[in-house]
A and B are shown apart, each in its own frame.
Chain A
Amino acid sequence: MSQIEFLPADKLFTACDYGQFTFDTTADLDDLSEVVGQERVLEALEFGVSMPHAGYNLYVLGPSGMGKHTVVRQALEQKARDDENPSDWCYVNNFADEHKPDALRLPAGMGRKFRDDMGHLLDELRSSIPSVFESDDYRIQLQQIEDELNERQEQAFKALQEEAEKSQISLLRTPRGFAFAPMRDGEVIKPEEFKKLPEEERQEIERIVGELQEKLQKVLLQFPQWRKEGRQKVKELNAKVTMFAVGMLLNEVRKEYDGFPELLKYLEALQLDIIEHVDDFRPHEKNPLEAMGLPGMGKPSFHRYKVNLLVDHSAAKGSPVVYEDNPTYQNMVGQVEHLAQMGALVTDFSLIKAGALHRANGGYLILDVRKLLVSPYAWEGLKRALYSRKVTIESLGQLLSLVSTVTLEPEPIPLQVKVVLLGERLLYYLLYQFDPDFRELFKVAADFEDEIDRHEQNNQLYARLVATMVRKKKLLPFNRFAVGRVIEYSARLVGDAEKLSTHLHSLADLLQEADYQARRAGEQPVTAADVQKAIDGQIRRADRVRSKVYENIQRGIILIDTEGEKVAQVNGLSVIQLGDFMFGQPSRITATARLGDGKVIDIEREVKLGGALHSKGILIISSFLANRYSRDKPLSLSASLVFEQSYGRVDGDSASVAELCALISALIKIPIKQSLAVTGSVNQQGQVQAIGGVNEKIEGFFDICRSRGLPGSQGVLIPAANVKHLMLRQDVVDAAREGKFQVYPVASVDQAIELLTGMPAGEPDENGDYPPESVNGKMISRLEELSRLRQEFSEAVQEKDSEKEV
């Protein structure tokens, strides 16, 4: 029997070597400008942002709290500083179709200037146009046109009147028009006098009146045409006068923006519109709506001449890096707002609001993928914009054809943006698997490292990282022992003595809480004791459930033996995770074995409380038993395995070594030491493989043992491969140092069974036979016996059946 040594105390915890630190406190350290251990991410970011081709947007993978946002933002801002300032964007009225506002692109800073210039221009137009129309020059010209036209009317009437007067006929105004009447002595001839006139004269008068009436009708019919001509002349005059007032002012603006053809085109259209609507600029009487005092109603609107500065980069230094905290559809693509007026919703181009894509255009947009995916249609909207390389503002109502409110169709704005999604790995893989667009649009994955190697160089960097965070968060300086303790905590966080965690939020939390402890104690700098208090505090706040479980074990409600020996019963170790707190729980694993057809029953699985991995472990046990002990015969046993007093789901294969040992004990009736607990998974060859949560598991069994006293025989068997993960609590290490608690690294089932039973496992001889008194020898004998019994039973049954047939 080989002697398996327990681990010395110094193997149970890899302390930080404080001697490597030359500083007294973090105040002596420089800030860390580089990102620790995320070289792959930085390379991916560099590649992603530099790739000019479509689809090279980025997805930064990693659990939350890794500082992804900070790292990405920092990297992008560094890159953005060297980029050119992106363009400003304005929306202006489309005078040809007001429902489709035009987008204007201007160099950074010029958008604001253009908006202000147009505002000043409008102010000037509002004063200069009325004044030019009130000028005597205009009045005279207008008067001339009107005089001319009135003269034309009057002349027509006069001519008719003169013609009538030659025949002693006069033109009279009647209530509804005009009439011709024969006159005598300045008055219309009396009817009785008219009757006295000779028949020929009466007929002549009637004839002349008839002719005059026809001529009058013709003259009257010309009036509308003359008026139309008159209005046209006035329109032309107004246009000339407006041009005089507007042209000069607009030319100044044109000079400023020479070289922007789209803008000049807009100014041209604006000029025509002002000429067409020049009456709006002139004093007018209040219309009924205005007179009612309704705000904004009825007044001529000058809104259409304003400029909606959608994106302003006047203060930009390089390209924008935008993080949209609430990536809803409308926050992404922008929206057209409405105003309620007299119960109706109205809008115009000035109510167009920019979305994150507009603000980030020409630069970088950072989004949380989870938030994006839970916002209805936001993901679809983003993809559409990236595919089309345009931002089209469209309300969800329009998009889904749900509403018919009058709204706008603003001209789409060309989009050139790098989108960086931040999210969990699971979401990346799900999107990659199920959304074909995702693969096309997000070709660069930047996968965050959860951990970095723990060596002197990284320890030094970590110390500077701590120093940087301490300064950034305005905490008390940490002395080097405190920094060392933080590093030890970081290693424990990843459950690996040779690694350090890159989970910056956990680190920041610890630093802040240690600072709190130090301040509370009135100490400065922060010491290792303060850090330990902070760690203990975190555990204390989270361990209500653990305490309850341990209490139930101590009170004998959950049955766990820590002394003596029992057949077919072994202490397994499981891990329970509640939020970010993990603890180990000892579990009693028992086995039963009997004659059967080679089936090992996983009771957990039978009741659907066992996960796939646990079932896999049980099948491996079956396979191991058959392979090692029953190669030439059928495995003639039936066994059952169960986690006693387990009422929840059990998964993972970390108890498979324990289960195998319990089964062997059940088969050959050899007792197992209850002072030991076992963790580890087994493969078909009987090798013990590494498992997770080794520290928590050891500490879990230690806590139970300590509560019952530590006679010195207790300990835990762990896979040898897990030794490098050990970062145990100080009290466990101390107990080990004092010989009160041992941790045994085991590499094979044989080593485990020897430790648990105190019997040799047995090595096969040259024929492959095991010593009869060894565990393996006994196992072979027992299985052969079961095989024989099965054979006999089978023959007896066959005989019985034959007798029945005879």
Chain B
Amino acid sequence: MKKKSDKKITEKQLPKRILVTLDQSGYGISVLRVAAGMAAKLQGELLGLLVEDINLIRLAELPFSREVNLFEEGGYHLCLDSLEKQLRSQAERLRHNLASIAGQQKIPWSFRLARGRLAAEIMAVMREVDVLIMGQMQGLFPQPLRLSSTLSERRPLPANDLLTQGFRQPIMVFYNGSLSSGRALKTAALLVRKNGERLIVILPAVEPARLLELEQQVVNWQQQTQLQLRFMSLLNNDISALVQLGKGRYGGALILGQDAFLLDELSITTLLDYPNCAVVLVK
């Protein structure tokens, strides 16, 4: 009986409308699958957002713009027509991916295409949803080196065991005692693949007593989940410190409540630049 009421509370507290930023990289598709799996588990709805960067459009209109990459020496001219075509084709492809993955999970879905600054567009849509999952390669830096199979791999996850596999290790969650951080904690528990895996709990930069108190709250909660925990704490309560702490932990996910930090365009941009790690914002 007790279990049933717990479950009710959990369902009530967990988000139902999930926004996922779309990205054509393999990792972006994996994130989309995880988001779809989460929506299916929560009987929620999936909203896919693709933002075409306005800066790119402008760049393409400049007469000297050249695109440089590893394989073509000297690069090549970036023209608007070609870019537009690429963007249309990309949008179609991602919409198709979204439809296909959501179809597999039998969940309602919608696709939204926007043109502008990524962070601004995300912020605009964020108001409509309960959770935001950002997993695209938006950072400037190229894909990090994957030197060993023990580290996370940017390989699409199989569709049939989405949420059970979820993100690769490590899963990090920021907990500051707020309601949304509590929900972030529960969402993190959903994403941890199986019992016995470790959840990294990041605590805010607070007084030691408060830190202990927060830690105890998490431990109390942990006793129901059987997850293994590891605690870390921030040096400063800002997004940059959070990003710094997660640096190098490629391929996992960072989950935090929406009210954890002041979420403006700059902080969203910072999180988008969070190197190679999905960021899940929970209301």
Q: For the complex, is A382 an interface residue (Cβ under 8 Å from B)?
A: no
A472 in the interface, Cβ–Cβ < 8 Å?
no
Residues from chain B with Cβ under 8 Å of A709 in the complex: none
Which A residue's beta carbon lies closest to that of B87? Answer: A175
In this complex, the member of B56, B87, B147, B151 whose beta carbon has the largest number of chain A beta carbons within 10 angstroms is: B147
Which of chain B's residues have a CB closer than 8 A to the CB of A205? 64
Task: For the complex formed, measure the closest distance between the CB of A206 and the CB atoms of chain B, giving whole angstroms.
Answer: 4
Q: Is the Cβ of A213 less than 8 Å from the Cβ of B150?
A: no
Query: B149–A279 contact, CB under 8 A?
Result: yes
Contact B54 A187 (CB under 8 A): yes
CB neighbours of A652 from chain B (8 A): none
* Segment at the B interface, from A145-153, A522-530, A540-548, A763-771: A145-153
CB distance from A393 to the nearest CB of B (A): 38
Task: Compute how far the CA of A176 lies from the CA of B90 in the bound complex, rounded to whole angstroms.
Answer: 12
Is there contact, CB below 8 Å, between A188 and B55?
yes
A147 touches B248 (CB 8 A): yes
Complex Cα distance, B66 from A221, in Å, reads 17
Knowing A153-B141, A181-B62, A191-B62 touch, does A213 contact B148 (C-beta < 8 A)? no
Q: What number of A residues sit within 8 Å (CB to CB) of B?
A: 55
Q: Which residue of A lies closest to B248 (CB)?
A: A147
- B70 in contact with A220 (CB, 8 Å): yes
Say whether A181 contacts B68, CB under 8 Å: no
Q: B78 an interface residue at 8 Å Cβ cutoff?
A: yes
Residue A345 at the chain B interface, CB threshold 8 Å: no
Determine the chain A residues whose CB is within 8 A of the CB of B59 once the complex forms: 172, 174, 179, 181, 188
Instruction: Provide the residues of chain B in CB contact with A70, threshold 8 Å.
Output: none
Q: Is the CB of B68 within 8 A of A230?
A: no
Q: In the complex the two chains form, is B141's CB within 8 Å of A176's CB?
A: no
Residue of B56, B70, B138, B148 near A174 (CB, 8 A) is B56
CB distance from A96 to the nearest CB of B (A): 26
Alpha-carbon distance between A223 and B146 when the two chains are bound, in angstroms? 13
Contact between chains at B64 and A210 (CB < 8 Å): yes
- Chain A 559-573 against B: per-residue CB contact (8 Å), 1 yes, 0 no? 000000000000000
Once the chains bind, are A177 and B69 in contact (CB under 8 Å)? yes
With A175-B86, A187-B54, A206-B64 in contact, do A143 and B140 touch (Cβ < 8 Å)? no
A220-B150 in contact given A153-B141, A177-B75, A181-B62 (Cβ < 8 Å): no
For window 54-80 of B, CB contacts with A under 8 Å fall at 54-56, 58-59, 61-62, 64-70, 73-75, 78
Closest B residue by C-beta to A183 = B55
> Does B149 lie within 8 Å of A175, measured CB to CB?
no
Is there a chain B Cβ closer than 8 Å to A154's Cβ?
yes
A172 to B247, CA, bound (A): 21
Bound: A220/B71 CA distance, A: 9
- B124 is an interface residue with CB less than 8 A from chain A: no
Q: Which residue of A lies closest to B89 (CB)?
A: A175
Whether B145 contacts A179 by the Cβ 8 Å rule is no
Determine the distance from Cα of A157 to Cα of B139 in the docked complex, in whole angstroms. 11
- Whether A133 contacts B150 in the complex (CB less than 8 A), given A181-B55, A187-B55, comes out as yes
Contacts of A220 in B (CB 8 A): 68-70
- Tell me if B58 and A188 are in contact (CB < 8 A): yes
A153–B145 CA distance with the chains assembled, in angstroms: 9
* Cα–Cα distance between A52 and B90 once the two chains are bound (Å): 84
Answer yes or no: A227 CB below 8 A from chain B CBs.
yes
Complex contact B141–A157 (CB within 8 A) = yes
Q: With contacts A177-B70, A178-B67 known, is A150 near B58, CB below 8 A?
A: no
Q: Which residues of chain A (271-307) have a CB below 8 Å from chain B?
A: 279, 282, 284-285
B144 CB–A CB distance under 8 Å: yes
Is A139 a contact partner of B67 (Cβ separation < 8 A)?
A: no
B83 at the interface (CB under 8 A from A): yes
B208 in the interface, Cβ–Cβ < 8 Å? no
Chain B residue numbers with a CB within 8 Å of A234 are 147-148
**A194 within 8 A of partner (CB):** yes
Q: Do residues B58 and A191 form an inter-chain contact, with CB atoms below 8 A?
A: yes
Cβ B138 vs Cβ A213 within 8 A: no
Q: Please provide the chain A residues from 103 to 145 with a CB less than 8 Å away from any CB of chain B in the complex.
A: 133-134, 138-139, 142-143, 145
Interface presence of A255 (CB below 8 A): no
Known: A150-B248, A175-B86. A189 touches B78 (CB 8 A): no
CB of B31 to closest CB in A, whole Å: 17
Q: How far is it, in angstroms, between the C-alpha of A205 and the C-alpha of B70 when the chains are bound?
A: 23
A179-B78, A220-B69 known; A230+B150 contact, CB < 8 A: no
Bound: A147/B56 CA distance, A = 30
| B231 → A minimal CB distance (Å) | 15
Shortest Cβ distance from residue A263 to the other chain B in the assembled complex, whole angstroms: 32
A175 touches B70 (CB 8 A): no
Interface centre among A174, A177, A194, A226, by most chain B C-beta atoms within 10 angstroms, is A174
Complex contact B248–A174 (CB within 8 A): no
**Contact between chains at B150 and A282 (CB < 8 Å):** yes
Alpha-carbon separation in the docked complex, A188 to B250 (Å): 30
Residues of A within 8 A of B78 (CB): 174, 179
CB distance from B217 to the nearest CB of A (A): 26
| Known A150-B248, A221-B70; 13 more pairs at CB < 8 Å | A147-B248, A150-B145, A172-B56, A173-B137, A174-B78, A177-B70, A179-B59, A181-B58, A181-B59, A187-B54, A189-B58, A190-B58, A234-B147
In the complex, the 8 A-B pairs of residues with the closest C-beta atoms, listed nearest first: A177-B69, A191-B61, A188-B58, A234-B147, A188-B55, A181-B59, A206-B64, A220-B70
Pull 26 A–B residue pairs with CB atoms less than 8 Å apart, ordered by A: A133-B150, A134-B150, A138-B150, A142-B151, A145-B147, A146-B145, A146-B250, A147-B247, A150-B248, A153-B141, A154-B141, A173-B138, A173-B139, A174-B56, A175-B86, A178-B68, A181-B59, A191-B61, A194-B62, A206-B64, A216-B68, A217-B68, A217-B74, A220-B69, A224-B70, A282-B149
**Interface of A with B (CB < 8 Å)?**
133-134, 138-139, 142-143, 145-147, 149-150, 153-154, 157, 161, 171-182, 187-191, 194, 205-206, 209-210, 213, 216-217, 220-221, 223-224, 226-227, 230-231, 233-234, 238, 279, 282, 284-285
